[in-house]
């Protein structure tokens, strides 16, 4: 039996960083930059106002207060998107909107709330003069040219993950495309004579193939592109054909056929195309898994396609995907952090670990009294997908322990980080 860590290390040693592609920035979310990005412009491009108010010379407001207004002549107005027509000379002010360029001569902005604008509109009906009742310092409510980004600055680096803020940043630099590490194409093959597509009526003895769909959804969630190969019957000819179709992909994931009973066919087919290792991993669910490397020749170059053989039981397949396929996909995409986020929680059930493997128990984590608490979501059989559906985390019960008791602290890998579920009750 090998440990989860040994299995992961072996798998990752066969997984390489993919090449890059140039794409519209909107399609780059979650991808890793393959270029350094320098700014050719200052952001903001000009000194501008952070508030709606009056652009003034700070010294003109010296001593201003609620009881002692300083009156200035209003010589113009400037809105965001236009340039000021006038200069602010001593004793004058320009009405200014948020984002509008600061006029020459002005060095501060007094917000509307610190002026008598509302009164004046009511009583005098015009704003040719304005009363200021706040003594402001130079620079107040001014955003300076280049304060966010200076021209020539390195803004994003090769290896940075593109999250929504980075996509916005690229747009603010005037970039419509970016060079990113491409997403892996992951072929998905379900194996088993009992399987039938969810679009088909269910004859006696058959079950719907759910793994293809759950696995494809997991691939999408972690940034890959699934290539569905369909259902491979337990026959050499069909499996060979399907596996050949999967050789264009960057990785092949099969489900089923790795337990003692029916693996022979899959194993024979895979062996013909490359290397294969059958593993008994010290985990539950997911003990029988397989890992192989298939070979293909592309443009005269021999390439290897890693193959993950996940167990057939729907929960085992999903849990082993999280442990092994997820980090493999992330590594191919150039992500630095391959570790699944986890928290410490108080377990609220007794969980027995009878066969001393690392157990991944399906739990719902909520936050109460400032602490995370984890509750089993139901029966833990590896075929029971409903209890996986109710879970937002996998509580890790360490190998070589008999289990955990209510009140113990456990590490929980978070499958989802749904703020509604985690809210304090
Ligand atoms: P196997 O690993 O092929 O022995 O399958 C273990 C269990 O998982 C069996 O009960 C299978 O019927 C079930 N199973 C295998 N593949 C799938 C699939 N694609 N969708 C749903 N259940 C499956
Ligand atoms: Mg099978």
274 pLDDT band, cuts 50/70/90, is: confident
Query: In Å, what is the CA distance from 246 to each residue of 119, 240, 258, 339?
Result: 74, 10, 18, 27
Nearest CA to ligand 1 atom 12: 194
CA 158 – ligand 2 centroid, Å: 43
Nearest CA to ligand 1 atom 10: 313
| Mean pLDDT along residues 231-251 | 88
Nearest CA to ligand 1 atom 14: 312
Asked whether residue 273 carries a pLDDT value surpassing 90, the answer given is no
CA 193 – ligand 2 centroid, Å: 7
**Chain mean pLDDT for the chain:** 94
What b/e string do you get for 253-287 counting C-beta neighbours within 10 Å, with b at 16 or more?
bbbbbbeeebbebbbebbeebbebeebebbbbbbb
Nearest CA to ligand 1 atom 6: 312
CB-based contacts of 363: which residues, under 8 Å, 6+ apart?
345, 347, 374, 375, 376, 377, 391, 392, 393, 394, 395, 412
CA 419 – ligand 1 centroid, Å: 33
Ligand closest to Cα of 206 equals 1
Asked whether residue 105 carries a pLDDT value surpassing 60, the answer given is yes
424 pLDDT band, cuts 50/70/90, is: low
Structure tokens, 412: 């929980």
CA 395 – ligand 2 centroid, Å: 27
CA 16 – ligand 2 centroid, Å: 30
3-state DSSP assignment of residue 181: strand
Q: Give the binding-site residues of ligand 1, using a 6 Å CB cut-off.
A: 190, 192, 194-195, 207, 209-212, 255-259, 262, 311-314
On whether the CB atoms of residues 78 and 94 are closer than 8 A, the answer is yes
Ligand closest to Cα of 309 equals 1
pLDDT value for 124: 87
| Residue whose tokens read 């090769």 | 158
Tell if the pTM clears 0.85, that is, is over it.
yes
| Mean pLDDT along residues 66-73 | 97
List phi, psi (to 5°) of 107.
-135, 5
pLDDT value for 53: 98
Ligand closest to Cα of 310 equals 1
CB-based contacts of 217: which residues, under 8 Å, 6+ apart?
none
Asked whether residue 11 carries a pLDDT value surpassing 80, the answer given is yes
């Amino acid at each position: 039996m090998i440990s989860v860590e040994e299995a992961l290390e072996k798998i990752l040693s066969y997984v390489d960083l993919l090449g890059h592609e140039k794409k519209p920035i909107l399609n780059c979310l979650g991808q890793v930059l393959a270029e350094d990005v320098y700014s050719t412009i200052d952001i903001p491009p000009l000194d501008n106002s952070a508030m709606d108010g009056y652009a003034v010379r700070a010294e003109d407001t010296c001593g201003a207060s609620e009881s002692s207004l300083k009156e200035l002549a209003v010589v113009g107005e400037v809105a965001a998107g236009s340039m000021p027509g006038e200069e602010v000379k001593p004793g004058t002010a320009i009405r200014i909107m948020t984002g509008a360029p600061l006029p020459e001569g002005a060095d501060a902005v007094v917000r509307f709330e610190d002026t008598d604008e509302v009164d004046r509109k009511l009583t005098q009906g015009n704003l040719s003069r304005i009363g200021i009742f706040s003594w402001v310092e130079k620079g107040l409510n001014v955003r300076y040219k280049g304060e966010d980004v200076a021209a020539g600055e390195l803004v994003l680096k090769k290896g940075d993950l593109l999250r929504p803020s980075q996509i916005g940043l690229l747009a603010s630099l005037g970039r419509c495309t970016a060079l990113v590490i491409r997403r892996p194409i992951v072929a998905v093959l379900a194996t088993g004579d009992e399987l039938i597509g969810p679009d088909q009526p269910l004859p006696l003895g058959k079950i719907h193939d759910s793994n293809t769909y759950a696995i494809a959804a997991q691939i999408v969630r972690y940034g890959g592109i699934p290539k569905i190969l369909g259902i491979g019957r337990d026959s050499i000819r069909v499996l060979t054909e399907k596996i050949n179709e999967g050789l264009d992909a960057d990785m092949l994931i099969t489900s089923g056929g790795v337990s003692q009973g029916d693996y022979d066919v899959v194993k024979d087919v895979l062996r013909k195309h490359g290397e294969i290792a059958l593993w008994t991993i010290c985990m539950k669910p997911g003990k029988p898994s397989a890992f192989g490397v298939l070979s293909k020749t592309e443009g005269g170059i021999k390439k290897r396609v890693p193959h993950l053989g996940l167990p057939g039981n729907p929960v085992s397949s999903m849990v082993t995907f999280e442990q092994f396929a997820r980090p493999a996909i992330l590594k191919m995409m150039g992500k630095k952090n391959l570790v699944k986020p986890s928290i410490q929680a108080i377990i609220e059930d007794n969980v027995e670990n009878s066969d001393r493997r690392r157990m991944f128990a399906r739990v719902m984590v909520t936050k109460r009294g400032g602490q995370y608490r984890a509750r089993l979501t139901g029966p833990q059989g590896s075929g029971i997908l409903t209890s996986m559906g109710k879970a937002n985390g996998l509580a890790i019960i360490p190998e070589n322990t008999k289990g955990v008791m209510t009140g113990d602290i456990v590490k929980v890998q978070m499958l989802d980080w749904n703020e509604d579920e985690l809210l304090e009750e």
